[in-house]
């Protein structure tokens, strides 16, 4: 697939008014995307678990505008029924980036109604689930205009568009494992969109659990977008990008053999490397909080004392994703309740597990 293949031929049919609803999940990277080139092209490949319970449900309603000669976008965004004017710049940027691939955008007024399954101020990034949900709604609209759209094209273009909204969003369309960015060992992998990982995966990774400990629920001090840009000219950038390729190769072998100790090593090292990149950029910054480190310490102690396979990963924030096999759920949840919850803001945590991607809720 090339970028040009996502530019449609002139549409033959027309739409007046209607709506589409999609539910799209969040995802957690095992090998992290950190650093990008122009046009939302990742500096290194990444791979993620798609989540199940953390999701965004979005209804996109469209109405044909009377004067379609205008080149401005017309939309309103609601979160849980409340008009969100502060979401407008992000949607505007998204629409500008994708207009070439969906030339009907300026012909309609859009009402975007969105709901997150997790609290808005939980510090859980809603951009992956939110942007992928909008991209899917827009693809449903395009499918009405181009009825011959195949399922494969639909999925790839939805991911391609989601990427232009937020890079990691392109990994939220499918599941349970999605690779984004060209990597020799991932079939059909590309920088343009996420692809479902189709290699062998040992049973131990089925229904893998992710309990998200909410350590800091405020707005992030440094956005991911700014963080990515600080990888330009970063002294360790090239080595880091090489390492991501190697870590994906390691994970592929680990998925095949079910080497869970190897999994823990790659995943925790990736999380700490992500934060190490933040601490060594100019300007430097720290997104972990003292409680993030306290939790990591407790996880290491627990693993040492009990032989558990629990491990952690982090995204660009202070919250901790606690990952473990389904077979260890009872012990790990007990450990979380007894020893980790005290480090969470208002004792909040979210129990999630691997999911299978987005789905349409239109009847």
Binding part of the chain for ligand DP6, among 54-62, 166-174, 207-215, 242-250 by CB under 6 A, reads 166-174
Residue 196: in which H helix or E strand, if any? Answer: strand 194-196
Match 């996502």 to its residue by tokens: 6
DSSP reduced 3-state for 230: coil
Q: Does 45 bind ligand DP6 (CB under 6 A)?
A: no
CA-CA distance, 354 to 50, in Å (whole number)?
6
Q: Does 46 bind ligand DP6 (CB under 6 A)?
A: yes
Distances (CA, A) of 178 to 71, 188, 198, 357, 359: 36, 12, 9, 10, 16
Q: Does 127 bind ligand DP6 (CB under 6 A)?
A: yes
Name the token pair of 7.
């530019």
Applying the rule CB under 6 A, the residues between 96 and 125 that interact with ligand DP6 are: 125
Binding part of the chain for ligand DP6, among 29-37, 103-111, 275-283, 297-305 by CB under 6 A, reads 29-37
Here's the x/- map for ligand DP6, 206-245, by CB under 6 A: it reads as ------------------xx--x-----------------
CA-CA distance, 67 to 75, in Å (whole number)?
15
> With CB under 6 A, what is the number of residues at the site for ligand DP6?
17
Q: Which residue is nearest to ligand DP6 (CB)?
A: 167
Binding part of the chain for ligand DP6, among 97-105, 164-172, 189-197, 255-263 by CB under 6 A, reads 164-172
Task: State which residue, 112 or 314, has the beta carbon closest to ligand DP6.
Answer: 314
DSSP string spanning 252-288? HHHHHHT-HHHHHHHHHHHHHHHHHHHHTSSS-----
Binding interface with ligand DP6 (CB under 6 A) = 29, 32-34, 40, 46, 125, 127, 166-168, 224-225, 228, 274, 315-316
């Amino acid at each position: 697939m090339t970028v040009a293949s996502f530019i449609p031929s002139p549409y033959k049919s027309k739409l007046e008014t209607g709506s589409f609803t999609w539910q799209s999940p969040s995802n957690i990277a095992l090998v992290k995307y950190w650093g990008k080139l122009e046009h939302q092209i990742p500096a290194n490949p990444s791979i993620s678990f798609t989540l199940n319970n953390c999701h965004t449900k979005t209804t996109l309603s469209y109405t044909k505008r009377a004067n379609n000669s205008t080149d401005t976008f017309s939309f309103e965004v609601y979160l849980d029924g409340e008009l969100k004017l502060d979401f407008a710049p992000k949607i505007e940027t998204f629409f500008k980036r994708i207009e070439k691939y969906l030339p009907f955008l300026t012909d309609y007024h859009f009402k975007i109604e969105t709901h997150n399954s997790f609290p808005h101020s939980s510090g859980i990034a809603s951009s992956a689930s939110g942007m992928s949900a909008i991209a899917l709604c827009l693809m449903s609209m395009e499918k009405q205009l181009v009825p011959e759209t195949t399922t494969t094209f639909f999925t790839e273009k939805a991911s391609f568009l989601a990427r232009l909204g937020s890079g990691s969003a392109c990994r939220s369309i499918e599941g349970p494992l999605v690779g984004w960015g060209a990597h020799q060992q991932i079939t059909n992998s590309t920088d343009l969109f996420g692809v479902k990982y189709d290699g062998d995966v040992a049973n131990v990774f089925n229904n893998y659990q992710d309990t998200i400990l909410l350590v800091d629920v405020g707005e992030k001090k440094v956005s991911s977008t700014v963080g990515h840009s600080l990888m330009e000219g970063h002294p360790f950038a090239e080595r880091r990008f090489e390492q991501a390729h190697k870590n994906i190769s390691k994970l592929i072998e680990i998925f095949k053999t079910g080497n869970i100790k190897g999994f823990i090593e790659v995943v925790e090292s990736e999380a700490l490397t992500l934060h190490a990149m933040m601490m060594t950029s100019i300007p430097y910054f720290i997104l972990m909080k003292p409680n993030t480190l306290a939790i990591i310490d407790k996880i290491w102690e627990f693993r040492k004392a009990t032989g558990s396979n629990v491990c952690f990963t982090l995204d660009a924030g202070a919250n901790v994703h606690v990952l473990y096999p389904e077979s260890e759920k009872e012990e790990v949840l007990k450990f979380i309740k007894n020893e980790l919850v005290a480090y969470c803001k208002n004792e909040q945590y979210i129990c999630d597990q691997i999911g299978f991607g987005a789905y349409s809720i239109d009847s």
